[in-house]
Chains A and B, each alone.
Chain A
Amino acid sequence: MLLPALLLLAAISLFPFFYIIYMSFNEVALIGGVDFEWVGLENWTLLVTDPDVRSSWIVSGIYFVTTVGLEMVLGIAVALLLHETIWGKNLALSVMLMPMFVAPVIVGLLGRFLVDSTYGLYAWFLDRTGLITWEILGSKGSALAAVILMDVWEWTPLIVLIVLAGLSSMPQPVLEAAKVDGANYLQRLRHVVGPLISGVVIVALLVRSMDAIRYYDIIAITTNGGPADATKVIPIRLYETAFRFQELGYAAAIGLSMLAFSILVANLFVRILKQQGLAR
């Protein structure tokens, strides 16, 4: 009964997966049809010795920790605020969620317009107030900060939504009992709310982490990995290797290393969920 569905699933997911593994052990020529030449571990050896790829993993690491960290902190804070809001809660939530529905490439274009020194509103404001007088996307530190903030702007609402769902499903008697016992807001947050929503928070963390590793669109539109490789995260390097240099075998190895990283991160979070008894 399930066999046709399983076969279809295998065709659309397992076949490409094993195909990419095979590609990673080959040099792939494109002209006149795909042609493989077996090179053994050459691509994998290059992957661990290539200083450019190492540098991209470092940038990805900085980006990953900063974006996911900021999104979690801001997302939880805004969700708690919205949860306590009585008037205009739905309107505030609707406005809050809007960035999430914008395509990342449009977020990149919007960000680039806003920080452009010729016609950007943010650039003009920051320059006039003396806060940032240099070119935001032209300097290493500020360029990385800018693309991180663009991602935070777009995806913090997702964390808000997930955490808000967790807050809404908290058992009210428990919260009321804590109030009756004289616990103040911070005490309730720490000893009641926190434990009750921790599972949801870890799920939010898992969802965003998986996505953050694949972050590509905004950087491709704004900085293209520059200046001085300051924003060249590993997906940009992967795209460049595959479609600019036509080194599909090596790109397959880079892609598989990203997959391995994703699986490691996912396993870490699932293990935490299990420890909390929230997952089987």
Chain B
Amino acid sequence: MIEKMRFSGRLTRRDFLRMSGAGLAGASLLGLAGCGEEASQGSSSGGMWKQYKGMTLNFISENTAPTSAIAANLKPFKDLTGIDVKISQLELGSLVQKVSLDVSSGDPTIHVIYADPYQVMAPFAAALADLNDFNEDDSLPSVPKGLGDFIPTQLAAAGRFADEEALYALPYDAPTMIWMYRKDLFDKYGDQMSQDLGFDPTPSESITWAQYYEIGKWFNDNADEVEYGTGQQAKQYDSLMCDFSNVLWAYGGDYFETGVQVGKIGTEDPGPAMLDQPKAIEAAEFYMKLNEISHPGSTSWDWTALDEAFRAGELAMVPNWHEFAAGVEASKLGGKVGYERLPTGPARSASMWGGTGLGVNGELSEDEQRAAWLFLVWATSPETQLSGLKSEVGGGTPTRQSVYEEPEVQKAQQRPSDMPNILTYEAVSKAWEPENIGLRPKIEEWNKCDTVIFTELSKMLAGDKSPEQAMKDAKEGFDRANGV
């Protein structure tokens, strides 16, 4: 019953009782930051929020836009709880290192963890607290609007590992790969391209990866405004795995036989890898072919460098993270870029999701964990997410459905928009649907497997290996890492 209510998207039983018993309590649940000060004055809910007044929380995060927005707007949380928050923003690799050392130290100091599902949650799930305990605790505020307000695929992917019940993180950010293209150039050359290529090149859900290749090649040969038609984030790094995975899934390949489940919930026993299968090899062959017409800088670009090249006007179109839209709109390309889901393949259109949740360090004392929970509830609340969306330092995009239903957010989906990331909403909202979302494997040994796949792909692109050999070697590497 409780579980059903938690996923209902409405107020839970406890929330209802609180609201009927003390009106201000309800205000604190719904209003949080905005009404926090008022709510905290003398009500039972206010007491909940104030019970750890004077404490200092350490929050470690990847250097991302949502955290920058939160760092610039911590006062409402301090006013609501009396808790100070120290935020450390790091590159993801350094974050993983810090977390691993902290949870092994015996004297942990990090309270709130930016729990990347693959590099932090999967290997360190045992060190993260089960958030259900806090959410169901009557002496603590529960998640406002319930867990059902989070986008379902994101709640599963960012929050769970190997267990459909345990909840290790609340969805916090949601970068997703989409197709960004120079709308001005497609408008200018659309007719000519249609004649030359024999199909309508306007980016849409029906464009295939094979057609994407043709469009890129056409730009290489015919347009002076850009140096190349397309580019890839193909540096020997995590970005290469992300870029390739879109194609892998579109061609019907996957990392493991139960790929969707392994991506969504994760597993401790993924079984043998499937990268040596014909569909995976076909995907690798296409990715290599695409590389041949891509900007030569591609093999040294990670996601940031690819985005910079696109913003510099060197490329007509790119598979890019949707949260880069704010930067694109603020650049000289502002107003000239269109956003669409990634091209489709023989099997489907898949968009790599790279979101993350916030977790609580389970190695801490009970009081510290409970104080950290207060921060999680506040940081992932609709009000804070909406505030981040409007932040001048560039917030991310909300992980809650209710925020997208706000009139001002819906209005921002059209230009001129004061929330530029929301311009991508039509593309990403479809990409987040269960049949379209691209979820990499959530397994304990993902860091090793990730390194294996991007290293083998890099060797393939460098000409050291054929696509078939690279995929076979990647499969062996995966199996070795997973003890298969």
> Which single member of A116, A118, A227 contacts B461 (CB below 8 Å)?
A227
| A224 B235 Cβ-Cβ under 8 A | yes
Q: In the bound complex, what is the Cα–Cα distance between A259 and B417 (angstroms)?
A: 58
> Which single member of A33, A34, A117, A243 contacts B297 (CB below 8 Å)?
A117
- For residue B285, CB closer than 8 A to chain A, the reply is no
| A34 B314 Cβ-Cβ under 8 A | no
| A30 B235 Cβ-Cβ under 8 A | no
- For residue A246, CB closer than 8 A to chain B, the reply is yes
- For residue B103, CB closer than 8 A to chain A, the reply is yes
> Which A residues from 188 to 232 make CB contacts under 8 A with B?
223-230
| A227 B458 Cβ-Cβ under 8 A | yes
Q: Which of A4-12, A85-93, A138-146 contacts B (4 or more CB under 8 A)?
A: A138-146
| B100 A246 Cβ-Cβ under 8 A | yes
Q: Which residues of A contact B451 (CB under 8 A)?
A: 240, 244-245
Q: Which residues of B contact A31 (CB under 8 A)?
A: 103-104, 124, 126-127
| B124 A227 Cβ-Cβ under 8 A | no
| B363 A32 Cβ-Cβ under 8 A | yes
- For residue B334, CB closer than 8 A to chain A, the reply is no
Knowing A224-B237, A240-B451 touch, does A230 contact B312 (C-beta < 8 A)? no
Q: In the bound complex, what is the Cα–Cα distance between A246 and B127 (angstroms)?
A: 14
| B299 A227 Cβ-Cβ under 8 A | yes
> Which B residues from 348 to 371 make CB contacts under 8 A with A?
363
Nearest to B98 among chain A residues (CB) is A243
Q: Which residues of B contact A118 (CB under 8 A)?
A: 297, 305, 308-309, 312, 314
- For residue B397, CB closer than 8 A to chain A, the reply is no
Knowing A138-B298, A243-B93, A244-B447 touch, does A33 contact B104 (C-beta < 8 A)? yes
- For residue A119, CB closer than 8 A to chain B, the reply is yes
> Which B residues from 407 to 429 make CB contacts under 8 A with A?
none
Interface size in chain B (residues, C-beta < 8 A): 38
Nearest to B99 among chain A residues (CB) is A30
- For residue A137, CB closer than 8 A to chain B, the reply is yes
Q: In the bound complex, what is the Cα–Cα distance between A119 and B312 (angstroms)?
A: 9
- For residue A176, CB closer than 8 A to chain B, the reply is no
Q: Which among A118, A136, A245 has the greatest number of chain B C-beta atoms within 10 A?
A: A118
Q: Is the interface of B mostly helix, strand, loop or mixed?
A: helix
The total of Cβ contacts below 8 Å across the A-B interface reads 102
Interface string of B96-110 (1 = CB under 8 A from A): 110011011110000
> Which single member of B105, B237, B447 contacts A245 (CB below 8 Å)?
B447
Q: Which residues of B contact A227 (CB under 8 A)?
A: 235-236, 299-300, 458, 461-462
> Which single member of B308, B447, B458 contacts A226 (CB below 8 Å)?
B458
| B297 A30 Cβ-Cβ under 8 A | no
Knowing A135-B300, A240-B451 touch, does A229 contact B104 (C-beta < 8 A)? no
Interface string of B80-123 (1 = CB under 8 A from A): 00000000000001001100110111100000000000000001
Nearest to A146 among chain B residues (CB) is B300
| B93 A245 Cβ-Cβ under 8 A | no
The distance from the CB of B293 to the nearest CB of chain A, in whole angstroms, is 15
Q: Which among B297, B299, B300, B301 has the greatest number of chain A C-beta atoms within 10 A?
A: B300
Q: Which residues of A contact B384 (CB under 8 A)?
A: none
Q: In the bound complex, what is the Cα–Cα distance between A147 and B416 (angstroms)?
A: 45
The distance from the CB of B190 to the nearest CB of chain A, in whole angstroms, is 27
- For residue A17, CB closer than 8 A to chain B, the reply is no
| B235 A32 Cβ-Cβ under 8 A | no
Q: In the bound complex, what is the Cα–Cα distance between A139 and B100 (angstroms)?
A: 33
- For residue A38, CB closer than 8 A to chain B, the reply is no
Nearest to A220 among chain B residues (CB) is B93
The distance from the CB of A154 to the nearest CB of chain B, in whole angstroms, is 21
- For residue B459, CB closer than 8 A to chain A, the reply is yes
The distance from the CB of A191 to the nearest CB of chain B, in whole angstroms, is 49
| B235 A135 Cβ-Cβ under 8 A | no
- For residue B448, CB closer than 8 A to chain A, the reply is yes
Q: In the bound complex, what is the Cα–Cα distance between A67 and B49 (angstroms)?
A: 59
> Which single member of A32, A34, A116, A139 contacts B299 (CB below 8 Å)?
A139
| B296 A230 Cβ-Cβ under 8 A | no
| B299 A30 Cβ-Cβ under 8 A | no
| A223 B100 Cβ-Cβ under 8 A | no
The distance from the CB of A276 to the nearest CB of chain B, in whole angstroms, is 44
| A138 B308 Cβ-Cβ under 8 A | no
Interface string of A2-41 (1 = CB under 8 A from B): 0000000000000000000000000000111110000000
- For residue A134, CB closer than 8 A to chain B, the reply is yes
Q: Which residues of A contact B462 (CB under 8 A)?
A: 139-140, 227-228, 230
Q: Which residues of B contact A245 (CB under 8 A)?
A: 447-448, 451
> Which 4 pairs from chain A and chain B are nearest by CB?
A226-B236, A30-B104, A138-B299, A138-B300
Additional A-B contacts beyond A118-B308, A245-B447 (15; CB < 8 A) = A31-B103, A32-B103, A32-B104, A116-B300, A119-B312, A138-B296, A138-B298, A138-B299, A143-B300, A227-B461, A228-B459, A243-B97, A244-B93, A244-B448, A246-B123
A-B contact pairs, 22 of them (CB 8 A): A30-B100, A30-B103, A31-B124, A31-B127, A32-B103, A32-B104, A32-B127, A32-B363, A116-B300, A117-B309, A118-B314, A135-B297, A135-B300, A138-B301, A226-B237, A226-B458, A227-B299, A227-B300, A227-B461, A228-B236, A228-B464, A230-B462
